[in-house]
Amino acid sequence: MCVHIVAQCMNMTIDEKIDEVKEIMESFFDPLDRYRYLIDQGELAKSFKEEYRLPEFKVSGCVSQVWLVPEYKDGTITYHSDSDALITKGVVSVFSYIYGGHTPGEIIANERNLTEELNFGNILSVNRRNGAYSMLLKIKEYAKACKQ
């Protein structure tokens, strides 16, 4: 599973990464297995620097506390993320993987609806889906700010 080994996937497009995660999620027939997969992603996420836990990096609209920190370097954005809830940490980690390592233009241009394509409606509560949507908006907002 490439989501676990991000370094080997850096040459993938955003669409390829989305398709990969979607395929993994669809390989689980039981919604609880999909839920567990997201929790596993949260457990496997890179450590998060304490100095990033600033109000300006918090994502509003989430049930849990979520931090999403963009790092713009050499024309691409890397997202550092964390949450105080493992399921939410898994979701933001997957989103950070999908959009990380891409240019602001690539991120902005991608219009795929991840909450729908990854079938979050079957595994996340309405409030958590709204939080996931807020994370995606923040990712796009950061990309737009870096593009200027």
Return the H-helix or E-strand segment holding 81: strand 76-83
CATH architecture of 2-147: Alpha-Beta Complex (3.90)
Report pLDDT for 121: 82
Task: Please identify which residue in the block is written with the tokens 């395929």.
Answer: 23
Q: How far apart are CA 85 and CA 136, in angstroms?
A: 17
- The whole-angstrom distance between residue 66's C-alpha and the CA centroid of its chain comes to 11
Q: How far apart are CA 113 and CA 12, in angstroms?
A: 18
Q: Residue 14 in contact with residue 106, Cβ under 8 Å?
A: yes
| Token reading at 107 | 């991120």
Q: Give the pLDDT band (50/70/90) at residue 9.
A: low
Task: Give the chain's mean pLDDT.
Answer: 90
Where along the chain do its domains lie? Answer: 2-147
Q: Give the pLDDT band (50/70/90) at residue 137.
A: very high
Q: Would you list the DSSP string of 91-123?
A: HHHHHHHHHTTB-HHHHHH----HHHHTTGGGT
Model confidence over 60-112: pLDDT tens digits? 988 899 999 999 999 999 999 999 999 999 999 999 999 999 999 999 999 99
Calculate what percentage of the chain has a pLDDT beyond 90. Answer: 80
User: pTM of this prediction?
Assistant: 0.91
Residue 7 scores a pLDDT above 80? no
Active site amino acids: 62
